[in-house]
Amino acid sequence: MFETRPDRDAEVVLVGRSNVGKSTLMREITGHSFDTGGSPGVTTKPNHYDWAAEDFVITDLPGFGFMAGVPEDVRERIKTDVVRYVEANAERILVGVLVVDGKSVVDIIDRHSGPDEIPHDVELFGFFEELGVPVVVAVNKMDKVDDRDERLDALAERLGLYPPWQQFEETLAPISAKRGSIEPLEAAVRHHLHEAGRDDLFKFF
């Protein structure tokens, strides 16, 4: 199902749970509309948006985690596919963007933390790090969050980053994709593109 990737050497991937606003963010970055459903779990295959001249592709990977009406084995398969895709293309991925819902992410992480369970978001964050892929956490829907700094500090802590969160502006980017407010993410992605010697890709962010 993931064989549709254009043959490009540089890539930025978007990953995250269902319904965190990945497709909205993708539209905001590319200016291009993709099939997004009103219900979670509608994106079941990667959406690629590519530029041949720059040898560059942005990929929105399917959402994982709980989805109403989607059987557990299908949910597990999607998550496995996402992990395999990232692993297979790690050498080409310049930045992994982990999109989370600023309002609920801390509660979700806490609900799924236990001796036998690593929350998906924490696991993926660590997975990118293990693969040596720079990761930016796009903390979306921040327009709905009142205790902004507390919430971001709590998230930083759960990802193993010591608060205050402001020390990690290359890693934590509070945004509101629906409102078109994604500057912190663009700045963080540019930082990593610059480190990779790809300032030519700044025009996309």
Q: Which of 117, 105, 106, 135 is nearest to 12 (CA)?
A: 135
Tell me what pLDDT residue 35 has. Answer: 59
Please report, rounded to a whole number, the percentage of residues in the chain having pLDDT higher than 90: 68
Rounded CA separation 196/56 (Å): 13
pLDDT tier for residue 70 given thresholds of 50, 70 and 90: confident
pLDDT at 40 over 80: no
The mean per-residue pLDDT over the stretch 80-108 comes to 95
Q: Which two tokens stand for residue 109?
A: 């992480």
pTM of the model: 0.93
Cα angle value 144/148/153 (rounded, 5°): 135
Range 82-107 average pLDDT: 96
Q: What is the mean pLDDT of residues 91-100?
A: 97
Pairing of strands 47-51, 56-60: antiparallel
**Number of neighbouring beta carbons within 10 Å of residue 77:** 15
- pLDDT at residue 36 tops 90: no
- In the predicted model, is pLDDT for residue 39 greater than 70? no
* CA distance linking residue 36 with residue 92, whole number of Å: 26
Mean pLDDT of 174-184: 96
The per-residue pLDDT for 151 is 97
Q: Region 144-154: what's the mean pLDDT?
A: 96
Read off the pLDDT of each residue in 143-170 and give the average, rounded to a whole number: 96
> Per CATH, which fold does 10-198 belong to?
Rossmann fold (3.40.50)
Would you list the domain boundaries of the chain? 10-198
What's the mean pLDDT in 127-140? 97
For the chain, the average pLDDT equals 90
- Identify the pLDDT of residue 13: 97
Is the model more confident about 182 or about 118? 182
